[in-house]
């Protein structure tokens, strides 16, 4: 009987990186680790690196990933936690870093693309790896119309705001707003209201990753609304279009057994 051909490993080993680019958050702890690691392993420009090592917390990790997107680099990013939660990060362990990087497992993330039109007529474009959300700017609730793929799905949503999340971002603001956690392989985008008043019991929707969502701000002069793509905030918007951009991606690296998919599953069983 002929033997079955050997199966390739699920996560093939990486080659030990020779050129590492370290990027650090503007905090004392992160800058301290940057000096130690750069002195020990060397440091190159991100455009010349085999791997980018991000030193900070989840917020700085998102900033680093946006830099990678904007520079159109194909360089994977490995985070080392110098912050608090560190959901996207790995432990801060200095020894044998190149060997550890060679054993990492990758997750490929696609961003949301936001197009926001302000009351002035100015148009803003931005990418978001966590979420795009709208939020009222004053004491009065926002009034939004929700269209999906050109069809009006909700003529009027009275709320503090609403958000569309990536699967990777579904455990962040989306979860705090009582939205569903979505696996990376789910090809779904959560659309979640923030403190809905009317309809009071609407908890949002799970949309296919191909969906095109448009929020139109009703009574925008009386009830101004801001739009936020990760950390970029646009004030006084009149409409916001959101769609996943499958032509762009970033690669995030995790230690064995601590992949992003595993973390998202584990989050659903946490207290």
Per the annotation, binding residues for NAD(+) are 58-59, 130-131, 160, 168, 171-176
Catalytic, 96? Answer no
Q: Which residue has the tokens 């090809």?
A: 187
CA end-to-end distance (rounded Å), the chain: 52
**Out of 35, 50, 58, 147, which one is annotated catalytic?**
58
Beta bridge mates, 194: 161
Torsion angle defined by CA atoms of residues 59, 61, 63 and 69, in that order, rounded to the nearest 10 degrees: -150
Query: Considering only CA atoms, which of 29, 25, 71, 26 is closest in space to residue 46?
Result: 71
Instruction: Please state whether beta strands 123-128 and 250-254 pair in parallel, antiparallel, or not at all (unpaired).
Output: unpaired
Give dist(CA 23, CA 79) in Å, integer: 10
Contact indicator for 148, 242 with CB cutoff of 8 Å: no
Known binding site: residues? 58-59, 130-131, 160, 168, 171-176
Catalytic residues: 58
């Amino acid at each position: 009987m002929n033997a079955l051909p050997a199966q390739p490993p699920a996560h093939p080993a990486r080659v030990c990186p020779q050129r590492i680019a370290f990027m650090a958050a503007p905090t004392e702890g992160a800058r301290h680790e940057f000096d130690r690691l750069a002195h020990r392993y060397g440091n190159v420009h991100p455009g010349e690196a085999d791997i980018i090592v991000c030193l900070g917390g989840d917020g700085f990790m998102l900033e680093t990933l946006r830099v990678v997107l904007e520079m159109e680099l194909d360089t994977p990013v490995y985070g080392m936690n110098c912050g608090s939660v560190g959901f996207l990060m790995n432990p801060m362990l200095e020894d044998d870093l190149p060997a550890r990087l060679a054993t990492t497992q990758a997750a490929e993330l696609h961003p949301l693309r936001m197009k926001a039109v302000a009351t002035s007529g100015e148009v803003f474009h931005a990418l978001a790896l966590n979420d795009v959300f709208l939020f009222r700017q004053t004491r009065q609730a926002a009034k939004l119309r929700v269209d999906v793929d050109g069809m009006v799905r909700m003529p009027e949503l009275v709320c503090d705001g609403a958000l569309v999340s990536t699967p990777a971002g579904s455990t962040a603001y989306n979860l705090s707003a009582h939205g569903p956690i979505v696996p990376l392989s789910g090809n779904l985008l959560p659309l979640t209201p923030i403190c809905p008043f009317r309809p009071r019991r609407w908890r949002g929707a799970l949309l296919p990753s191909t969906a095109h969502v448009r929020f139109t701000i009703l009574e925008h002069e009386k009830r101004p609304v801001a739009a936020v793509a990760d950390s970029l905030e646009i004030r006084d918007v009149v409409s916001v279009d959101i769609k996943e951009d499958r032509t762009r991606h970033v690669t995030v690296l995790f230690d064995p057994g601590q992949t992003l998919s595993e973390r998202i599953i584990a989050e659903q069983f946490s207290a």
